Structures are given as structure tokens and as C-alpha cells.
Copies of this chain bind each other. A is one copy, B any other.
């Protein structure tokens, strides 16, 4: 395998651990916990894993542990640092007893159900330390939800003598980890299940989980290229760059990147929803920023757009819902309509409110909304090129304003979408350390007989030495939500809080950023060099943790 010079040099990096984890530890238990909401319902669903105490690991005396076999699963989309969770877990169980073994289930939760696994030996682990990607065992999107899956998994668990499973995933995967923990506990199978908080989207966080891993590296990678584009933009002075950023649900990535690069405009989906803004409101907001800059002679700028925006615009949500229902009910008739007549047909058939919005959409987007449907018959919102949709509508609005004498300037747009560029970047020092610590902590939760816990590493804006490692009962983060028409216990998704410090810092500065050219150029992630360059957590974390 050919390796780059950086891959070779980076392999030697020894991730930093919290001081308490460097030697023998003991468990310090906190008070019993409650779920964030719907306590009675959650308690009833999780009789064996509800109400457990918070746990912190503190220095203790050396105890001898028996060898244990552990299974690990990567679930869902890639996030930088997954390999370090696994190497931390590996080093942790080996430190407990050198005869411990780690099994990786291949291509996600499906590997457990299908008995598709490999032993992760030291040779393999060493190949993947401090690298990006999930390619060590692959990941997958199979959801562990059904008793048959749990039982199929239990078969291989017994066969391999596995004492505990570590599931590395986002909010849904951790919810399912807890359901599995509860099931095995109720059955007295003696199998522990531990979760680890992963997602570049940054929407799995709460009081006890300060951040999900991968968010740091992904945002820094996006900020690097956005910064480069801004420098280009400020040199060429002739384009508006519309930059869409991955992240379906929450706008944490867009917000963090905005705090890092200080763009002219950044749209935050949660704000759009809270203010009940229409698509035209969003377009007008951007067009106004373009017009104001043009008045000052600056016909260039940058706009950051969260991938999930369209679904947060209440009026668009209603349009999409009606389209889904209408096309499901009239698919045969619609299939008979000539392509060139489809647009008018839809406009005629929709309710007046939705019809007007549909008619206002650029042709390509309108077509996309009626053509590309997922297996459930729903519009595939992720296929909408929101960055082009917005720039096209902004262009139209500006042309109209020009006619009305309200705008003088030139408007030309470039488009970008960043997602795959950052999900598998080599983890930053922060993510390398954080992930390794999460994995190491998971090994200690296992050693101490815990199940239904999420590995937790806190105080993460301090140097790694001072980080606090422990476990949080997953039930503590849950509430009841309607999913596919049913009330389900789920971990609350953390959306951008409009009263939170990161959004407030953004809101306090955005008018200045819109008018002036206040671009910051973060540059690429540095792994060697001054600590203020290499070891800083995200702006989001710094602002949230500043007390």
C-alpha cells in the first residue's frame, strides 16, 4: 500500500488522553438520572437501563481484569476519527488484559446480524491510527431495531464469547444501541452495549456530550476551502460564491464555518423556521446583501447555505407534503402528461398557496420536485441543488430591482457543495485525541460492567490532560417523538439554538460581515506546529463552553 508522507508521519502520533485515564481508574458515581422529557414513558420502555447514575473515571488502584472479547460497529455516515475510537478501545481493553480481543463487524450493524466480522489485531489497528475514513471495517445504515436482529446478533456474540458491543454512531444509532442494551439486559444475556457519539453534523450533543466527533475536522476542512474561495473572491472581485454545506437536519456546520471564515451571508435553517421565512424572504435577504455590496462597488461575496434549508422553510415543507400526496394519488395520470406540459399541470392541480410557490421555482428545481422520488414516493430533497436554486432566484430578483432602479451592479455566481471533501479527512489533533479518549473510556465502561451508557469526554476546551472521562446513561438524553406515525423513544436531536452563544456571536457580527469584506482564511488543518494552530477546538465549542 503506497502511503503519502503525511500518512507515514501521522501514524506515529500518540493521541493525548485525559490524565485520569493514564493509570488505573475507579468509578465515581453521580446521582441517578432522569430522561430530558417524557420520564414516565421512557422509564417504562427501559426498566433495566433507566435512571442509572452518571459516571466519572478518577484515579484508582490497579486491579487485575480478566481478558474480555469486545465487538465494535461503525454505523451510518463517515466522520473523521472513527479509526481512533477503535484504536483507543483496542488499547484500552489490551491495557486491562493483554489477552483481550476486539472483533469488528463488517459494513455496519448489518455485520452483526449477518455474522460478518473480523478480528482486529495490533497489525491492523496500527495501519489505521490517526487516519480518516471508516474503511478499517466499513460502515452501513442497517438499523438495529427488531428482536430478530437482536437475537441473530446474540448468536454470533455467544459464538465469539463477546462480553460487550461498542456502537459508534449518531443519534439514531445510539438510540438503537440503548434499545439493544435494554433488550439484552431484560433477557439476562450478560452482554453490555456502549455507544459513542459520532456525526460531522454536530447535532448529537447535550449537557453531558459536549460535541460529536468528526464535527471539528469536517468543519475545519470545509473552512479551509471556503477560506481559499474567499481569498479568490476578494482577489478576482467578480463572483458571488454560493456554497452549500453538508448536514441535512441542523445548521451547526454552516454556523461553525461562518464563525471561522466570516462570510458575507450565512443562512441558518433554524432561524428561517423560527421566523417562518418564505423562500422569497430568504432570496430577498441574500439579494439585499448583494445590492448593498454592489452599491459600495463590491460585486462579489460568499453565501453559506446549509444542505437541509429547503426542509426548514415552512412554506416549502407544505408544498413538498402536498406534492408527495398528490403525486402518490395521481401517479398514473401524471405519467401520461407530456414532459413540457408537466409544470403547468402541477400548477393547475395544487392548492393556490402551494401552486404560487411552485410557479415561482426555477424550471430545473420544479422538475426535480416532481420527477426524482425515493422508494417511498417522497421527493428527494437532498437532490435539490439549493445553491443553484438560490442564486438563480437572487439573479432574477436583482434583474427586477435593476429595472426598478433599485440596484446597480453586476451579478455572476459560482456554485460549490462540500460534504464528501470533509467526512473522511484525517482527524485533527482534537478529533484524534477526543476519539481515542472516547474509545478508551468505552473500554473502562465495559470493564466496570456498564451497559446502556454512552462514552463521554467533557471539559474539551481545556487541554486534553484536564478532560473528564466517564459515561452517560443513554436514556438520560431521550424523549418521545413521532417517527413514521408512531411515538418512539429517541435521543433529542440538537438543533442550532437561537439563544445559544454560537448563534448569538454570529448574529452580532453578520451585518458587519455582510457589508465589509471581513474574510478570515483558516488554511488547512495543521498536525505539527504551534499549539494555537494545531490544537484549538471549534468556535462552537469555545463559545458554548465559555462560562
Residues of chain A at the chain B interface (Cβ within 8 Å): 1-7, 9-10, 77-78, 107, 131-135, 138-139, 221, 224-225, 227-229, 231-237, 241, 260, 262, 340, 414, 416, 420-426, 518, 520-530, 532-533, 536
A9: chain B residues at CB < 8 Å are 529-530, 532-533
Measured in the bound complex, the distance between the Cα atoms of B3 and A260 in whole Å is 10
Contact of A521 among B4, B224, B523, B530 (CB under 8 A): B4
Contact (Cβ within 8 A) B529 A423 = no
Contact of A520 among B3, B227, B422 (CB under 8 A): B3
A224: chain B residues at CB < 8 Å are 524
A529: chain B residues at CB < 8 Å are 9, 526-529
Give the residue name and chain of the B residue nearest to A516 (CB).
Answer: B1
Give the residue name and chain of the B residue nearest to A1 (CB).
Answer: B518
CB distance from A495 to the nearest CB of B (A): 25
Measured in the bound complex, the distance between the Cα atoms of B131 and A234 in whole Å is 13
Contact (Cβ within 8 A) B5 A532 = yes
Contact (Cβ within 8 A) B2 A234 = no
CB distance from A453 to the nearest CB of B (A): 27
With contacts A3-B520, A4-B522, A228-B132 known, is A235 near B139, CB below 8 A? yes
Give the residue name and chain of the B residue nearest to A77 (CB).
Answer: B236
CB distance from A219 to the nearest CB of B (A): 13
Measured in the bound complex, the distance between the Cα atoms of B26 and A82 in whole Å is 57
Measured in the bound complex, the distance between the Cα atoms of B78 and A5 in whole Å is 27
Q: How many copies does the complex hold?
A: 2
Contact (Cβ within 8 A) B422 A228 = yes
CB distance from A185 to the nearest CB of B (A): 32
Measured in the bound complex, the distance between the Cα atoms of B255 and A421 in whole Å is 20
Give the residue name and chain of the B residue nearest to A134 (CB).
Answer: B235
Measured in the bound complex, the distance between the Cα atoms of B260 and A522 in whole Å is 24
With contacts A236-B78, A236-B139, A414-B420 known, is A4 near B260, CB below 8 A? yes
CB distance from A527 to the nearest CB of B (A): 7
Contact of A528 among B107, B518, B530 (CB under 8 A): B530
Contact (Cβ within 8 A) B528 A426 = no
Give the residue name and chain of the B residue nearest to A6 (CB).
Answer: B523
CB distance from A530 to the nearest CB of B (A): 5
With contacts A523-B10, A528-B529 known, is A225 near B421, CB below 8 A? yes
Contact (Cβ within 8 A) B522 A525 = no
Measured in the bound complex, the distance between the Cα atoms of B521 and A78 in whole Å is 16
Contact (Cβ within 8 A) A421 B228 = yes
The 5 closest A-B pairs by CB, nearest first: A528-B529, A524-B524, A231-B424, A133-B231, A6-B523
Most interface-central of A6, A132, A416, A526 (chain B CB within 10 A): A6
A237: chain B residues at CB < 8 Å are 107, 138
CB distance from A410 to the nearest CB of B (A): 14
A107: chain B residues at CB < 8 Å are 237
Give the residue name and chain of the B residue nearest to A239 (CB).
Answer: B420
Contact of A2 among B414, B420, B518 (CB under 8 A): B518
Measured in the bound complex, the distance between the Cα atoms of B516 and A1 in whole Å is 11
Measured in the bound complex, the distance between the Cα atoms of B3 and A221 in whole Å is 17
CB distance from A489 to the nearest CB of B (A): 29
A536: chain B residues at CB < 8 Å are 5
